[in-house]
């Protein structure tokens, strides 16, 4: 049974560019994902394979569906899929499934917009191309690295200032996400956003499920790089989200080479 988006949420998505979906993850799921991510992050640091950012105070653990079966539950979660469909069309695909660990001492990061939007000429497209979702494994606050973002900035069709411009670290209309763990912060990838500084003594962690329109090139090539058992377990909906139905091809293939 699919949960429907309310008219107020649709309006908020259109005008403000984001929504917080409450109570997506249970306490047991939150604790289990958080512990798994901390373990994976530590192992990747020990192996010299860590994907660090924010002066080494931030870390991404990527390719999650190949690193634990529990992460597959995020791919087609019934409480979140309707939002992606609403914004990106029913044939949307997964671009990355990753995570962001923001450790104590992390600084404010400069604003960015997601993926290919940063390389496109202005004005940016006026319809959503990419939709990001952060699955909160801690309460997010203004102190612990709650995401900084400028509500409604997707409607400006402009890129944020370059990272070395002081205005990339401060906008008069910016807010810092304050939301409960277990909720999902879902937003148009064209919103100006960034991780905030963590001035507490505990890591702030989220899972990230980032999706795009089916005609765009995803950041991760799931079709090529998923473990065979992950593909085997995938439902038809998950296969479509992984991108198995949006590969080049079709009828117009050179003779003798099909």
Ligand X SMILES: O=C(O)CCC(=O)C(=O)O
DSSP per residue over the chain, as a string? -PPPPPHHHHHHHHHTSEEEE-S-S-HHHHHHHHHHHHHHHHHHHHTT--EEETTTTEEE---GGGS-GGGGGGTT-TTTHHHHHHHH-TT-EEEEEEEEEE-TTPPPPPPB--GGGGGSPSSPPSS-SEEEEEEESS-B-TTBTPPEE-TTGGGGT-PPPPTTSGGGG--TT-EE--B-TT-EEEEETTS-EEPPPB-SSS-EEEEEEEEE-TTSPPSS-HHHHS-HHHHHH--HHHHHHHTTTSSS-SS---TT--
Distance CA 88, CA 91 (A): 8
Of the candidates 25, 35, 31, 115, which has an alpha carbon nearest to the alpha carbon of residue 73?
Answer: 25
Instruction: Fill in the per-residue mask, 142 to 161: x = in contact with ligand X (CB under 6 A), - = not in contact.
Output: -----x--------------
Laid out side by side, the sheet with 18-21 consists of: 18-21, 184-188, 130-136, 204-212, 93-102, 58-60, 51-53
Residue 101 C-beta: closest distance to ligand X, Å: 9
**Which of the residues 191 through 250 are near ligand X (CB under 6 A)?**
193-195, 206, 208
Task: Output 16 or 234, the one with its CB closest to ligand X.
Answer: 16
Task: Output 131 or 234, the one with its CB closest to ligand X.
Answer: 131
Segment near ligand X (CB under 6 A); pick from 22-30, 117-125, 188-196, 218-226: 188-196
Task: Output 145 or 243, the one with its CB closest to ligand X.
Answer: 145
Task: Output 169 or 208, the one with its CB closest to ligand X.
Answer: 208
Residue 208 C-beta: closest distance to ligand X, Å: 5
Is 100 a binding residue for ligand X by CB under 6 A? The answer is yes
Is 99 a binding residue for ligand X by CB under 6 A? The answer is no
Residue 109 C-beta: closest distance to ligand X, Å: 7
Is 54 a binding residue for ligand X by CB under 6 A? The answer is no
Number of residues that bind ligand X (CB under 6 A): 10
Task: Output 184 or 208, the one with its CB closest to ligand X.
Answer: 208
For ligand X, which residue of 36, 59, 95, 132 counts as binding (CB under 6 A)? Answer: 132
For ligand X, which residue of 37, 134, 169, 197 counts as binding (CB under 6 A)? Answer: 134
Task: Output 36 or 59, the one with its CB closest to ligand X.
Answer: 59
Is 114 a binding residue for ligand X by CB under 6 A? The answer is yes
Residue 252 C-beta: closest distance to ligand X, Å: 36
Residues that bind ligand X (CB under 6 A): 100, 114, 132, 134, 147, 193-195, 206, 208
């Amino acid at each position: 049974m699919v949960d429907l988006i309310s008219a107020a949420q649709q309006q908020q998505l259109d005008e403000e560019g984001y929504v917080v979906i409450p109570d997506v993850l249970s306490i047991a799921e939150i604790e289990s994902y958080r512990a798994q991510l901390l373990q994976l992050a530590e192992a990747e640091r020990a192996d010299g394979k860590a994907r660090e950012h924010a002066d080494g105070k931030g870390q991404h653990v990527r390719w999650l569906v190949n690193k634990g079966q529990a992460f597959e539950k995020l791919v087609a979660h019934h409480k979140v899929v309707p939002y992606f469909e609403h914004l990106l069309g029913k044939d949307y695909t997964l671009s990355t499934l990753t995570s962001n660990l923001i450790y104590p001492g992390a600084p404010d990061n400069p604003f960015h917009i997601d993926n290919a939007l940063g390389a496109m000429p202005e004005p940016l497209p006026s319809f959503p191309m990419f939709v990001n979702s952060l699955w909160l494994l801690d309460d997010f606050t203004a102190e612990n690295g709650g995401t900084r973002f400028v509500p409604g900035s997707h409607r400006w069709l402009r890129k944020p200032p370059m990272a070395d411009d002081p205005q990339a670290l401060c906008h008069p209309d910016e807010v810092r996400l304050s939301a409960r763990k277990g909720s999902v912060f879902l937003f148009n990838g064209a919103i100006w956003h960034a991780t905030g500084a963590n001035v507490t003594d505990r890591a702030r962690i989220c899972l990230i499920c980032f999706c795009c329109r089916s005609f765009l090139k995803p950041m991760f090539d799931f079709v090529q790089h998923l473990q065979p058992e992950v593909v085997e377990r995938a439902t038809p909906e998950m296969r479509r989200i992984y991108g198995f139905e949006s590969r080049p091809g079709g009828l117009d293939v050179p003779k003798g080479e099909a």
